[in-house]
Structure 1
Amino acid sequence: MTALRCLSVAGLTAFYGASQVLFGIDLNVGEGQCMALLGRNGAGKSTTMKAIAGIIPSTATKMDLHGKNINGIPSYRIARAGLGFVPEDRQVFPEHSVEDNLTLAEKAGAQNRRDWTLQRVYDAFPLLVPLRTRLAGQLSGGEQQMLVIGRALMGNPTMLLLDEPSEGLAPVIVQQIAVQIKALRKAGTTILLAEQNMHFCLNVATHVAVIDKGKIVYADSVEGLRNNDDIKRRYLSV
Structure 2
Amino acid sequence: MSTQPVVQVEDLDVYYGTSQILFGVGLSVQPGETMALLGRNGAGKSTTMKAIMGLAPARRGRVTLHGRVVSGLKPYHIARAGLGFVPEDRQIFPDHTVEDNLVIGRKKGPDGQDEWPVKRIYDVFPLLEPLRYRVAGRLSGGEQQMLAIARTLMGNPALLLLDEPSEGLAPIIVQRIGELLRQLRGSGATVLIAEQNMHFCLGLASHATVIDKGQIVYSASIEDLKANDSIRQRYLAL
Instruction: Check if 1:10 corresponds to 2:10.
Output: yes
Instruction: Check if 1:38 corresponds to 2:7.
Output: no
AA in 1 matched with 2:24 = G
**Aligned residues of 1:59 and 1:71 also touching (Cα < 8 A):** no
Correspondence for 1:162: 162
Moved more, 104-113 or 217-226: 104-113
Whole-Å separation in 1 of the counterparts to 2:14 and 2:145: 27
Deviations 1:203-230 (A, max 9, x none): 1100000000000000000000000010
Correspondence for 2:129: 129
**Aligned residues of 1:43 and 1:214 also touching (Cα < 8 A):** yes
AA in 1 matched with 2:144 = Q
Whole-Å separation in 2 of the counterparts to 1:16 and 1:69: 23
Whole-Å separation in 1 of the counterparts to 2:59 and 2:72: 7
Instruction: Check if 1:153 corresponds to 2:181.
Output: no
Correspondence for 1:109: 109
AA in 2 matched with 1:114 = D
Q: Secondary structure of 1:35's partner?
A: strand
CA RMSD across the alignment: 1.1
AA in 2 matched with 1:213 = K
Instruction: Check if 1:223 corresponds to 2:223.
Output: yes
Deviation at 1:60, TM superposition (A): 3.9
AA in 1 matched with 2:100 = D
Deviation at 1:61, TM superposition (A): 2.8
Deviation at 1:4, TM superposition (A): 3.6
Deviation at 1:3, TM superposition (A): 4.6
Instruction: Check if 1:81 corresponds to 2:69.
Output: no
The runs of 5 or more residues in structure 2 that have no matched partner are none
Deviation at 1:67, TM superposition (A): 1.0
Moved more, 126-135 or 4-13: 4-13
Deviation at 1:113, TM superposition (A): 1.1
Correspondence for 1:190: 190
Whole-Å separation in 2 of the counterparts to 1:207 and 1:21: 24
Alignment of 1:47-58 (within 5 A): 47-58=47-58
AA in 1 matched with 2:33 = Q
Whole-Å separation in 1 of the counterparts to 2:214 and 2:228: 21
Instruction: Check if 1:141 corresponds to 2:141.
Output: yes
How many residues align structurally? 238
**Aligned residues of 1:9 and 1:60 also touching (Cα < 8 A):** no
**Aligned residues of 1:121 and 1:150 also touching (Cα < 8 A):** yes
**Aligned residues of 2:57 and 2:71 also touching (Cα < 8 A):** no
Which runs of at least 4 in structure 1 moved beyond 6 Å after TM superposition?
A: none
**Aligned residues of 2:15 and 2:59 also touching (Cα < 8 A):** no
Whole-Å separation in 1 of the counterparts to 2:201 and 2:59: 28
Q: Secondary structure of 1:126's partner?
A: coil
**Aligned residues of 1:60 and 1:71 also touching (Cα < 8 A):** no
Whole-Å separation in 2 of the counterparts to 1:37 and 1:3: 21
Deviation at 1:2, TM superposition (A): 8.5
Deviations 1:118-165 (A, max 9, x none): 111111100000000001110000000000000000111010000000
For normalisation by structure 2, the TM-score amounts to 0.98
AA in 1 matched with 2:87 = P
For normalisation by structure 1, the TM-score amounts to 0.98
**Aligned residues of 1:162 and 1:192 also touching (Cα < 8 A):** yes
Whole-Å separation in 1 of the counterparts to 2:3 and 2:177: 25
The runs of 5 or more residues in structure 1 that have no matched partner are none
Whole-Å separation in 1 of the counterparts to 2:210 and 2:2: 21
Correspondence for 1:207: 207
**Aligned residues of 1:35 and 1:207 also touching (Cα < 8 A):** yes
AA in 1 matched with 2:28 = N
**Aligned residues of 2:25 and 2:216 also touching (Cα < 8 A):** yes
**Aligned residues of 1:4 and 1:30 also touching (Cα < 8 A):** yes
